[in-house]
Each structure stands twice: as structure tokens, then as C-alpha cells.
Chain A
Amino acid sequence: MELTGLTIHELQGLLRRREVTAKQVLMAFLKRIAQVEGKIQAYMAVTGLEALRMASRLDRRRHAGEDAGPLAGIPLAIKDVICTQDVPTTCSSRILDGFIPPYDATVMRRLNQAGMVLLGKTNMDEFAMGSSTENSGYKVTRNPWDLDRVPGGSSGGSAAAVAADLCTAALGSDTGGSIRQPAAFCGIVGVKPTYGRVSRYGLVAFASSLDQIGPMTKDVRDAAILLGVIAGHDTCDSTSVNVPVPDYVAQLGREVTGLRIGIPKEYFIEGMDPEVETAIRAAINVLESLGAKAESISLPHTEYAVATYYLVATAEASSNLARYDAVKYGFRAREAKDLLSMYMKSRQNGFGAEVKRRIMLGTYALSAGYYDAYYLKALKVRTLIRKDFEDTFKRCEVILTPTAPTPAFRLGEKTADPLTMYLSDIFTISANLAGIPGVCLPCGFTRAGLPIGLQLLGKPFDEATLLQVAFAYEQATEWHRRKPPL
């Protein structure tokens, strides 16, 4: 088995028993990147030299008998929306070209303490706004299973890197499905934690009441390992919640017998790909055969989620992105003669089309005369969507749905019409509005060989049960072992 194809827990074993060194692992990845990255374009930047220094340092520490941490020598890729000290962080936006953060995000501090090796920063939709990674201001990332298709988005670079064995695991961020949908399109595992579970300190803000950082991995055990490292209270993020972080790995093996799984009828809609529906129905049967009880439920406000999201998220984004003023950091248009035209020109030339659209929509929804009709209305519908979940979780522990209505679509297929692109997030958006956790994992392939993703949604701060159900399903199936033909 190639080192690059292994999971975190498999590599941990080899490294701990000193059957391989961190440097050997890293060299295998750098070789793989040299061979495959040209086809995939998952990375914004590969930080090979610094990674080499890190790996050598870890090898010396381990050689000296020190405990170098639970992730010692594990090469990870980080979405380029997460600040990495002294390593450029662009959010795949031209407006942040050359920006070098003077500090590490809290998740980076935690990963560094755990001994990980930073392999590089991954491509994404600009400022995490998009569902295909085609909105990157720099490059187009391709789906490892079919190079003519999108990897999903906005964490498409991270998803493609994990699926193509260009890293062992990755971090993404999820505001409306940006971890789960690309995980589904690329056939990997993705976790969107409960809002407040993982610190957002150092995560470049898109929509502050929705954003969460989460793991993207080759299997469920890896997701449990990585979530355990990054989760927890942080005084640098006033929205991070002080609740205990359980030992996710220790709880994976629990039986699912008697567990109640809700199947929302609103998630099996007109226009859904029949192969996706078949795969999801088969997955429900697998979990029932393991002793779980599936029951039909209703989330009646599901059809309003996309409209609600595109007001709440854009309103918050228009405010958050006001910071790109070409003064403290980032791109400045040179031709401006006065302050106002410096703002206008720098933002005109620095932002891409989708980001401009969302700033405009959000500014409009918050502007005098429209606030009540749009923004306040959306906040009220958000209450209804949240209540749907609260009511449902009195009757079941977990909700099971498809992650996306279709498998990965073709490059360019949805770029002409923004609304069509927005509707591809229809099954993932509600979880962000309600703040609840979600896990996506592979549950089959289409006849054309494209991965299909299953989504599990859970009660706030109950990631452990989601991972437990995901693990039980994974143990009973083989989908996660398939590799793309590269």
C-alpha cells in the first residue's frame, strides 16, 4: 500500500512503531503531488520546504523518545480561508493576493501542538462563496473521479486533495454545505460541527453566525480523530461554546441498535437524481439491518431554507467584507486619486463576480426601507427552520438525507445562472441556519463512477452520535475504500 493512500490512524501506527519516518511520509506526498497535482489543481500553495523542516523536527523528537503528539508526522492540507502564520492566506481572492497572516488560527495552533505537518493551502470558491470551486480567483480544481467535473465547493480543493491522496486529511469550512457537498462529490467524509464547537478565531469571516471549520477525511475514524483535536472552547472566539469535548474515537464502536433515524420526506424531491435516491434508500436498509429504526418525519420549512440563507449569509457577508478597504492589507487599485475612488476601484478589481453579487444582495437586504421586508423576514423564517429540527429531535436521534440532489456536475454547467448554483445546496443549508452538526460520508457510486454522499444531521453538540452511526454504516460497507482512477 502506498503511504499516500493511508488514513491518519493507519499512518499513526506506522509512525509510532517507527516503521516509517515523518520525512518518508512527507517525501511520498511531495512525489505524489509532483505527479498528480497538475491534473487536479487542488492546492493554492504547497509548503514543501517548511513541511520538510517540520517533519525532520518531529522525527528528531520521536527519536529522542519524546511524545510528539497525536498527529505527529501526519501531512494535512488546510483550506486557504484559515489563517496560517507566515504562510500566505488568500481565500482564493485577488483582493488578498500576497496577504501573509501575522498569527495562526486557533485550529492551526491546536494542530501544530498535535504535531501535524502542514502540506499546503487548498483552493476554494472566493471567500467560500460557491458550490463548485469555480469561483476561485486563481484556478479551477477538478474532481478526481472525473476531471471534467467540479469537486464541489466551496472546500473543493480540500476535498479533491483528500480524494486524490494529495494529503492524508484536510480542514474545510462550512457556511451552507461547503464541507459536506464537496465531500459528497469527491467520495470522502466531511464533518460540519455544531455552531460554537470549533473556534472561528483566524477563520476569515464570510457569514459569522453560520461559519464552522471541520475535518475532511478518508474515513470516519479519521474524522473523529481530527475533530477531537480541533474542537473545544477558545477565549479568542466569543461564540465558541464551553461544553466538554467527548472522546469521539472511543465512542465510535457503540451499537446503533434501537437508535431512531428520521427520514424527512421533504428531502426526496422532484428533480433528484434517481441513482442518488436509490443509494440513499439502500443506505437506510443497511442501517436498519444493523438494528436502527428508520421512521418518516417532516421538516415542513425545508423549501424556504435557500431563500432564507441567501439573505442571512449575504447580509452578514456584506458587513464582514467591508473590511477589504485597501488600507490595512490586500490589493489596492493604483489609479485612485481620492479615498472614495480608492475603495470603489480596489473592491471592483479585487473581488470576483459572485462575491460582488453577494455584497450587493446583502447590502440591499440591510438597506433602509428593505431591512424589515428581507433581512428581518429571513431571521424569522430561520426561527421556523430551527424549530422544525427541535421538534424532530424529540422523536429521533439522527436525521438521514442525501447530501446533494445530484452527483458532481460538469465544469461550467451551472456558472451562467447563480440561482441554479444556489439550489445545489438545498439539502445542506438548513443545518447551518439551525446551527446543528452534520456528517457526510460515501454511500455508493453512480453507473458512471461518481461518488454519492449520505448526510446525517444531529442534535446540537452531539457529533459523537453522528460519528457513531456513520462508523457503523462504514464498517458494514466498502465505499470508503475505493480510489479514483488517476
Chain B
Amino acid sequence: MKITRREVEHVARLARLGLADEEMERMRAQLDAILTYIDKLNQLDTREIKPTSHVIPMTNVLREDVVSPSLSQDQALANAPDRHEAFFRVPRILEA
């Protein structure tokens, strides 16, 4: 077994992803099968190989610091599931 149910629960918490009880075992089994397949990468000796995170040379892209048009407050808030005046509203984050 590559991955345990405890690990699935831990990873789901890291990802802020709720999983129903019945989803949990299915997810574990599917991840297990995929990770077993992925094990084939260990056939390759990569000790001397440099990683490729991007195929093009990545450098910082800088520009002049000039003011340009941006979204209005109303545009920025238009898709919010809940808003209060000029703010995004969320459930309480501090204990009372």
C-alpha cells in the first residue's frame, strides 16, 4: 500500500478539501493505483540530472512603475459570493 487513509485525510486538510466518508476510501484506492504506476520513474537514475521546472529561461520581467487603469471597487467585488459595502464578507475568523 503506497498511501494510507490517515495520509489521505492529512493531504485533504492541507488542500482545504472536504471529503465525505465514502469518498475517502475510493480516493485512497485510486491514489494508490496512480502512485504505484508513477513508481516506474524510479527505474531511471536521475542523480546527475538537473530538474526542469520551466522549458523557457525564466528571468524577472521588470517594467517602469507607471500608473495604469485598474478594476474599480465595484468590478472587483462584483463576483463575490458575499460582500459588505467595500469588503468581501467571510464567516468569523477569530474566536469571540
Contact = CB atoms under 8 A, between A and B. Distances in A.
A110 B30 CA distance: 42
Nearest to A208: B54
A381 B43 CA distance: 11
Interface string B24-50: 000100110111011011111010011
A381 B46 contact: yes
A317 to B, nearest CB: 11
Interface string B5-36: 00110011011111110010001001101110
Interface in A82-106: 98-100, 102-103
Contacts of A322: 15-16
Given A339-B91, A364-B7, A364-B31, A380 B49 contact: yes
Contacts of A328: 79-80, 88
A2 interface: no
B34 A329 contact: no
Interface stretch (A165-173, A302-310, A450-458): A302-310
A367 B35 CA distance: 14
B16 A344 contact: yes
Interface stretch (A13-21, A49-57, A234-242): A234-242
A115 interface: no
Interface in A279-338: 301, 303-304, 306-308, 310-311, 318, 322, 325-332, 336-338
B41 A363 contact: no
Contacts of A356: 17, 19, 23, 27
Contacts of B42: 377
Contact of A359 (B17, B35, B81): B17
A342 B11 contact: no
B-side interface mostly = loop
A165 to B, nearest CB: 34
A374 B40 CA distance: 11
A-side interface mostly = helix
B55 A311 contact: no
Contacts of A361: 31, 34-35
Contact of B34 (A308, A384, A419): A419
B48 to A, nearest CB: 9
A64 interface: no
A241 B52 contact: no
A235 B63 CA distance: 9
Nearest to B74: A102
A195 B51 contact: no
Contact of A360 (B11, B50, B52, B75): B11
B93 interface: yes
A340 interface: yes
Contacts of B46: 377, 380-381, 384
Contact of A195 (B11, B16, B56, B61): B56
B58 interface: yes
A357 B88 contact: no
Interface in B58-94: 58, 61, 63, 71, 75-76, 78-82, 88, 90-93
Interface centre among B8, B52, B79, B81 (most CB of A within 10 A): B52
Contacts of B92: 337-339
A180 interface: no
B80 to A, nearest CB: 6
A252 B27 CA distance: 49
A206 to B, nearest CB: 16
Interface residues of B, number: 51
B81 A360 contact: no
Interface residues of A, number: 70
A327 B18 contact: no
B20 to A, nearest CB: 7
B9 to A, nearest CB: 11
Given A304-B40, A367-B14, A378-B41, A383 B52 contact: yes
Nearest to A362: B15
A386 interface: yes
Interface in A370-404: 374, 376-384, 386
B31 to A, nearest CB: 6
Nearest to B27: A360
Contacts of A301: 44
A196 interface: yes
A238 B61 contact: yes
A357 B17 contact: no
A360 B12 contact: yes
A347 B16 contact: yes
Nearest to B82: A332
Contacts of B34: 310, 361, 418-419, 422
A384 B11 CA distance: 29
B41 A308 contact: yes
B3 to A, nearest CB: 7
26 contacts: A100-B78, A100-B79, A102-B75, A209-B53, A239-B58, A310-B34, A327-B81, A328-B88, A329-B80, A330-B79, A342-B91, A343-B16, A344-B18, A348-B17, A349-B18, A357-B27, A360-B11, A360-B27, A364-B31, A380-B46, A381-B46, A383-B52, A384-B49, A386-B52, A386-B55, A419-B33
Given A360-B17, A363-B14, 17 more contacts: A100-B78, A102-B71, A102-B75, A102-B79, A209-B53, A235-B61, A311-B38, A329-B79, A338-B93, A341-B18, A341-B91, A342-B90, A348-B20, A376-B51, A384-B49, A386-B52, A419-B33
